[in-house]
Amino acid sequence: MVETVVVVGAGVYGAAVGDALTRRGARVVVVDAGAPAGGTSGATFSWTNSCGKEPRAYHDLNVASMEAHRRLAAARPRGDWYHEGGNLEWAGDDAGREKLRAKVAGVLDYGYEARWLSRAEARDLEPDIDPAALPDEIAFFPREGWIEPARLVGHLLSSAVAGGAELVRNVAVTDVEVSDGRVRAVRLASGRRLSADAVVNCAGPRAAAIAELAGLSLPMRNTRGVLVYTSPVAVSVTCVVHAPHVHLRPGGAKRLLLHTAEIDGAVRVSGGEIAVEPSAVDGLLEAGRALYPGIRAATVESVRVGERPIPGDGLPVLGRAPELPNFYFAVSHSGATLCLHAGDLVAGEALGEDHDDVLAPFRFERF
């Protein structure tokens, strides 16, 4: 029986794994080079969904993960991190409409909830949308939503610490000691040595670097993502909205959170400084104003750039590594959706549970 587990990373995955391990009775140390939720988890659109995700095993993992969010929200009725208002999506050209029709047909074939709405039905959900911006074909995915990652991380880490876990902030992992085919300890930049019966790599964009310290090569193709927060606005927004020129959702404190794939390409790095082209930010805000006329007076409150951890083939890397049977991964894109369920599975495996039926498609050795 594993007794002491070091979890590297205190984002959504690290917090979920740490809490799940603690609830199972393990002695847990969660280590992060910065502040909890201070990396990718603090700069993510955090849309909970399994909308068009392939292959089927990945779709099913996401569906189960969405249900895990619902269970936790039901068990913690005063928690305010989970919002299930549905997702509205439409396309702006013929090619986009064909792609959307194929996606809806595909998820319906999997038993996933989706339906087509009229303009009037869409405005019942989002009354402040400009009706002139709505097309004839609007897809609605009612069980989708979004989370507030920092609040979720705070809840999970508080639960873990209350159960006896230790949280180490602002201290990087500098080495992973390996001997006789097993991890023995983790060393920190502070000089501290943490003996470990198991290590779980939840380091997000730094997952490859942590794996390398243990002698493992994890292919990653991380990308940068840009989020634009508006100033507080007096409009009603309940759903996640995917329109042709802007994706948006509530951003907390009466703000809206805006994104598109195009603005991700507007990131520029110079002299170690990361910036986003102002014209791209202005264009995204204008697209939001066109969709919701009530935010005409809105300004840009902040722009956040996060690094998305994406394994080489785009699918999650979960569970043990055969070369190091006590070294485990919980690394993926879509961490906001997957963290609770996938994190629980990885934590269980680290303590000897058999979850190969679910985790087999996502093993490290596929690379």
Q: Same structural domain for residues 233 and 293? A: yes
Q: Same structural domain for residues 214 and 250? A: no
Whether the CB-CB separation of 154 and 30 falls below 8 Å is answered with no
Q: Same structural domain for residues 187 and 236? A: no
AA letter at 326: N
Q: Same structural domain for residues 166 and 214? A: yes
In three-state secondary structure terms, 145 is strand
Q: Same structural domain for residues 36 and 172? A: yes
Check residue 30 and give its pLDDT: 98
Pairwise CA distance, residues 81 & 154, whole Å: 10
Give every CB contact of residue 299 below 8 A, 6+ residues apart in sequence: 230, 231, 285
Q: Same structural domain for residues 204 and 172? A: yes
- Does 76 map to a domain? no
Q: Last residue of some domain: 272, 292, 308?
A: 308
Token output for 187: 């060393």
Check residue 3 and give its pLDDT: 86
Pairwise CA distance, residues 260 & 273, whole Å: 22
Check residue 1 and give its pLDDT: 59
Q: Same structural domain for residues 234 and 139? A: yes
- Does 126 map to a domain? yes
- Does 327 map to a domain? yes
The boundaries of the domain holding residue 349 are: 4-64+149-221+312-366
**Strand ranges of the sheet holding 47-48, from the earlier edge strand across to the other edge:** 47-48, 145-147, 82-83
Q: Are strands 87-89 and 240-243 parallel, antiparallel or unpaired?
A: parallel
User: In this structure, what CATH number is given to the domain that contains residue 281?
Assistant: 3.30.9.10
Q: Same structural domain for residues 139 and 226? A: yes
| Angle in degrees, 0-180, between the axes of helices 335-350 and 12-23, rounded to the nearest 10 | 30
User: In this structure, what CATH number is given to the domain that contains residue 49?
Assistant: 3.50.50.60
- Does 75 map to a domain? no
- Does 74 map to a domain? no
Q: Same structural domain for residues 134 and 163? A: no
Q: Same structural domain for residues 286 and 317? A: no
Token output for 282: 């202005």
Among 19, 10, 16, 17, residue whose Cα is nearest residue 39: 10
Q: Same structural domain for residues 243 and 209? A: no
Pairwise CA distance, residues 167 & 189, whole Å: 15
Q: Same structural domain for residues 60 and 174? A: yes
Q: Last residue of some domain: 308, 339, 355?
A: 308
Pairwise CA distance, residues 83 & 76, whole Å: 13
Find the DSSP H helices in the chain: 12-23, 56-75, 94-109, 119-125, 149-162, 207-213, 261-264, 278-291, 335-350, 356-359
Q: Last residue of some domain: 278, 308, 338?
A: 308
pTM for this one? 0.97
- Does 77 map to a domain? no
Check residue 196 and give its pLDDT: 98
Check residue 42 and give its pLDDT: 85
- Number of domains composing the chain: 2
**Strand ranges of the sheet holding 324-331, from the earlier edge strand across to the other edge:** 166-168, 27-31, 4-8, 198-201, 324-331, 317-321
Per-residue pLDDT of the chain (367 residues; tens, 9 = 90+): 568 999 999 999 999 999 999 999 999 999 999 999 999 988 899 999 999 999 999 999 999 999 999 999 999 878 889 999 999 999 999 999 999 999 999 999 999 999 999 999 999 999 999 999 999 999 999 999 999 999 999 999 999 999 999 999 999 999 999 999 999 999 999 999 999 999 999 999 999 999 999 999 999 999 999 999 999 999 999 999 999 999 999 998 999 999 999 999 999 998 888 999 999 999 999 999 999 999 999 999 999 999 999 999 999 999 999 999 999 999 999 999 999 999 999 999 999 999 999 999 999 999 9
Whether the CB-CB separation of 37 and 10 falls below 8 Å is answered with yes
Whether the CB-CB separation of 295 and 287 falls below 8 Å is answered with no
